[in-house]
Amino acid sequence: MLNFFVEMWNSFVDFSWQLVLSVFDMLKDLFYWLMEQLFTVGILILEGVGSLMSGLSVAQYISALPSQTAHTMSIIGISEAMGMVITCLGIRFLLQLIPFVRWGS
């Protein structure tokens, strides 16, 4: 009769351990799903920033430049470079708002 209780206790311990492992796997999967959703939102935001910067043309705002200089600037991609610089500065300023992310600047 004592063996019955020992086997029941061992079965209960095994079941409890399997339950703990299953809950841990569920929490891990939930974390992975959340990170995937955050990355998806981040990609959408970055695509939106890229489309916002596509209309930025430095040459059209500087009327004192000769037409050949403005054309050369548009060919070598000054607009895209300025868009990247503005985006990087914006991200840097946003990161400065986070208290523990002050990477030496």
Residue pLDDT, tens place only, 47-67 = 877 677 666 666 567 777 788
Domain borders along the chain are 2-96
What pTM did the predictor assign? Answer: 0.48
Q: Are 101 and 95 in contact (CB under 8 A)?
A: yes
Using 50, 70 and 90 to split pLDDT, how confident is the model at 104? Answer: low
* Cα 6 versus chain centre, distance: 52
Instruction: Strands of 11-89 (E only): list them.
Output: none
pLDDT band at 26 (very low <50, low <70, confident <90, very high): very high
